Structure 1
Amino acid sequence: MTATDPALTALSQGWCALSLLHGKIESHIERALQARHGLSVREYSLLDVLSRQHDGEGGHLQMKQVADAVVLSQSATTRLVTRLEERGLLSRYLCPTDRRGIYTNVSEAGFELLEEARPTNSTALREALDSAAENPDLAPLVKAVEGLHTVA
């Protein structure tokens, strides 16, 4: 395969379109969440992931699992957790069975903010997808994203 191989060029163009769609969606949601709730997309994602924890077996995530879920490095996730903890939206505690492990829970204030922000996130996502669907290069990707909910 060479750099001018049509298959490689098509793959590269597909990746560029996917990256563009992601960027458009993320920036639109970011602006909406910041304006209405003072949250970044990453902060919202972290609160959302942590809000799904439960007290059953395997119900609490370790920091590496949280980092993987929000697609950040462990150090960036720790900094994000610290910022949200300082705002009173999260709390940390030691794992009862492994004193080396630290878990994070969403506080009552964090749950309230998350519930207020969910409709904003959903509306902004819909707006971003609708706008992207008007671009012929992005429309097939939008269709694919919209079809994912029926698969899962």
Structure 2
Amino acid sequence: MTPQSDEDEVWRQIVASFNETAEDASAEQPWPDRENVTEETGAGTADGAPGDRFPGTGPDDTGSGDEPGEGRAPARAPAGDDEDHYVPPPPPPLPPGDALSRLSWLALFGGPAYLLLAALLHWPMDGWIVFAAVSAFIAGFVILVVRMGDGPPADSGWDDGAVV
């Protein structure tokens, strides 16, 4: 037989068994004991019986009997749960920026903002105004990139960790 005829035969078998139900291979395997749920682990009914997984969700928890769950207060966590959650300390204040960096940020956003505002409000834009706005944007960007620095800090010492 050629590889093509084997492939055709396998394909015919797949098509022929398309509507057949699959055999359940797990039918003869027993249910593991660790999967059994008992009342101690929280199994129960929704009517508030002992071991209820969701207490307070039964039909008579509102007292009115009109609608189940209507007028019910939201569930609250026990008082001891707050101690288990990590609350990070407040972040340190931002360092004060120098005048050049503030001016660079203003130029970076102010130039395009002025051009957008002037275009929306139909203000007359002379050539020197457009040139100044675009130049301010470019200058602000260049100053911020140059001041960013891409090297290690000066006080990092001789061992700067893994260098790839």
TM-score (norm 1): 0.26
Give the structure with the larger strand fraction.
1
Give the structure with the larger helix fraction.
1
Q: RCO (CA 8 Å, sep 6+): is it higher in 1 or 2?
A: 1
Higher-Rg structure is 2
